[in-house]
A = this chain, B = another copy of it.
Amino acid sequence: MSQTFDFGPLFPSTLPPAAARWSGLAKYNFTGGNNDGDAIPLDGLVAAANDVMRREGRSLATYGLAHGPQGYRPLREFLIVKLKRDAGIACTADDILVTSGSLQALDLVNGVLLARGDTVLFEQESYEGSLNRLKRLGVNAVGIPLDRDGMRTDAVAAALAGLKSRGIRPKYIYTIPTVQNPTGTIMPQARRAELLRLSAEYGVPIFEDDCYADLIWNHERPPAIHAMSQHGGVIHIGSFSKSIAPALRVGYIVASWDVLSRMLALKTDAGSGALEQMVLAEYCTPHFSEHVPGLTAALRRKLETLMESLNENFGTAAEFDDPRGGIFLWVKLPDNVDTMKLYQPALDAGVAINPGPQWSTDPAYSKCRMRLCFASPSHEEIREGIAVLADVCRREFGVPARSGNVERGR
């Protein structure tokens, strides 16, 4: 294609930089919320697709399957049962908006609440996609430190009081309370209650991101903050990306109508993908509960392979807590390691990692930390990849010191 036309002068000055050409996934890919290919319930999804298309496929001729802008009704009906059973949330189909993945849910929550210059409370370490959205929107994310019970409510109280004294009312408190990303903690019920008390006291809604909540090793969790709320000021989002498959772009929002009705006015996409909603509803209604334990068992085994590989290759140089669920491990390396500078040499050696500073509001604290996702690589790839990563880290930063082990081949 000849390229004499210059679009450059037409781009608004606020446009983010151009994306680079995609160059494929790393050989040892410890990034991204990808899942375990072997754990995809393929037979069930194929049967579901066949059954639901045979029965209702002609409704694909109508936008939204004529079920309205909130999504395919049987999927919302499955969610009513699932959310009650797993998260204690009592809601109706009218309280649920099906979205194109939880990323669209993030965009819609931000869309109805945020304007440039606004402030939100944010877990100090949290999902990169949420943090990047706030940066793009020009919103100030006040980082709240975490401990092994998640977001520290004493710090939330102090932040809210401090902001109030400066006349600032934050637009929401964003939390991933159930399998926190990246730390893997689960916030206890008492702390959830305290967060709700603070929310009510300061008139600041809670934005509860429960995307990883299905992936808990012992399947025990407190009720969702949304379920515990007396005041209705909690927006709850979830996803099928982690429990079924991320390439199916289906998530959801549970919120009161005063918020949902504003989100619907912004959701000008003529509905999220209907076939994916149909297949999920058809599969999940009978099979979700039996599918999840097999998935979490497979993920737990991969996590154990990862933790063993880290112990073997990094020794005490890699510190981490055994997370209670999820698909990621948050790892601290020695203080002299800068994971932003580890990133490119590791990638050159075939290993993709998430450097800590991209997942944190505090670059100094997170400088020597990294997130490793373990669901997608095979056990063998995890072992090989961590060995390669240790070699690169040693070459670049002198740690881990060579242990008594014989040096590994590459």
Contact = CB atoms under 8 A, between A and B. Distances in A.
A276 to B, nearest CB: 5
Interface in A257-284: 257-259, 261-262, 264-266, 268-276, 279
Interface in A284-326: none
Contacts of A249: 100, 269-274
A225 interface: no
Given A50-B46, A57-B46, A269 B63 contact: no
Interface stretch (A226-234, A350-358, A400-408): A226-234
A2 B34 contact: no
A271 B247 contact: yes
Interface string A47-88: 001100110011111111110111000000000000000000
Interface string A114-140: 110000000000000100110000000
A17 interface: yes
A223 interface: no
A7 B68 CA distance: 24
Interface stretch (A35-43, A186-194, A338-346, A385-393): A35-43
B62 A34 contact: yes
Contacts of A233: 5, 7
A179 interface: no
A87 B107 CA distance: 35
B205 A7 contact: yes
Contacts of A132: 268
* Copies of this chain, whole number: 2
A247 B34 contact: no
**Residues of A contacting B: mostly:** loop
A307 to B, nearest CB: 22
B65 A256 contact: no
A113 B10 contact: yes
Contact of A46 (B54, B273, B276): B54
A129 B63 CA distance: 14
Nearest to A170: B10
Contacts of A257: 21
A247 B4 contact: no
Nearest to A32: B63
Nearest to A114: B12
A269 B262 CA distance: 20
B10 A171 contact: yes
B232 A18 contact: no
Given A10-B113, A273-B249, A22 B61 contact: no
A2 B269 contact: no
5 A-B pairs closest in CB distance: A5-B233, A247-B274, A22-B68, A273-B273, A19-B264
